[in-house]
């Protein structure tokens, strides 16, 4: 790709005020069109139009909800956006190099507790728990649970073992076991569990990552598990990079 000619295209694309606001919201959590419409205060047809522009550029993708097939959850590809922003800077001047966050564990000024939830707590949330704990070198107290716990999936154990992590000793738990505990973030990985997620003490930030269950019959067997682990690893990398930074207020991003 010719980054010199494409760089202005990216600036025009993300520089539009509404598209910037949509990217900001999707950077926090996966959302449906209806939710985005309420968050940015614009008509649904206008939001859908600008989402289409972002999808056409490969910055945003959509997945049908597993809870309600009439809904689609939209996700921003932060890795793709990071790479395109970096290419834009260097196309303007070689000295404008985007420096990625360090690979080392985040230096947090206070303890951070993160809860990952899915329906069965047998694969997605278990993998996310291990990734967050390991990638942060224990700086994040990561937990996981499910609304209808199942036995830990052997393919999840296998996929994580290939990542150098042993989750065979992790125990599936019902989310009711953790209802009295305080968390800084509660991240739902399943569209179904998002619909039934209870309130936790202290009103933790609620985040949704719409990630298909790798164990579903149409998932494609074992290869779906490493793909899920890879997606979780990417998302958790961005999560860790922003844990000790204040979340921009919607009032600020709306202007």
Catalytic residue positions, numbered: 118, 190, 197
Q: How far apart are CA 207 and CA 184, in angstroms?
A: 11
Sign of the torsion formed by the C-alpha atoms of 98, 104, 110 and 116: positive
Sign of the torsion formed by the C-alpha atoms of 137, 225, 82 and 95: positive
Q: How far apart are CA 21 and CA 201, in angstroms?
A: 29
What are the backbone dihedrals phi and psi of residue 31, each rounded to the nearest 5 degrees, phi first? Answer: -140, 155
- Size (the chain), residues: 255
Take residue 228 and report the two structure tokens written for it: 């899920």
Take residue 67 and report the two structure tokens written for it: 């809870």
């Amino acid at each position: 790709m010719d980054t010199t000619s494409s760089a202005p295209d990216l600036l025009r694309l993300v520089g539009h005020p509404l598209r910037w606001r949509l990217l900001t919201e999707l950077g926090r959590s996966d959302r449906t069109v209806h939710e985005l419409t309420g968050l940015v205060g614009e008509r649904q047809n206008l939001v859908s139009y600008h989402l289409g522009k972002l999808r056409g550029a490969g910055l945003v993708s959509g997945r049908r909800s597993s809870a309600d097939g009439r809904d689609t959850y939209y996700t921003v590809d932060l890795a793709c956006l990071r790479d395109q922003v970096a290419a834009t800077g260097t196309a303007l001047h070689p000295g404008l190099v985007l420096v990625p966050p360090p690979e080392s564990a985040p230096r947090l000024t206070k303890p951070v507790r993160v809860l990952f939830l899915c329906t069965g707590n047998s694969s997605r949330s278990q993998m996310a728990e291990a990734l967050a704990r390991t990638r942060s070198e224990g700086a994040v107290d990561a937990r996981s649970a499910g609304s209808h716990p199942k036995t830990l999936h052997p393919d999840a154990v296998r996929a994580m073992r290939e990542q150098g992590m042993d989750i065979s000793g992790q125990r599936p738990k019902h989310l009711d076991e953790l209802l009295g505990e305080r968390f800084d973030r509660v991240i739902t990985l399943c569209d179904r569990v998002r619909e039934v997620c209870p309130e936790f003490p202290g009103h933790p930030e609620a985040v949704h990552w719409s990630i298909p269950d790798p164990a579903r019959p149409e998932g494609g067997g074992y290869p779906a598990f490493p793909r899920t682990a890879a997606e979780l690893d990417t998302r958790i990398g961005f999560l860790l990079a922003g844990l000790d930074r204040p979340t921009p207020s919607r009032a600020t991003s709306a202007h």
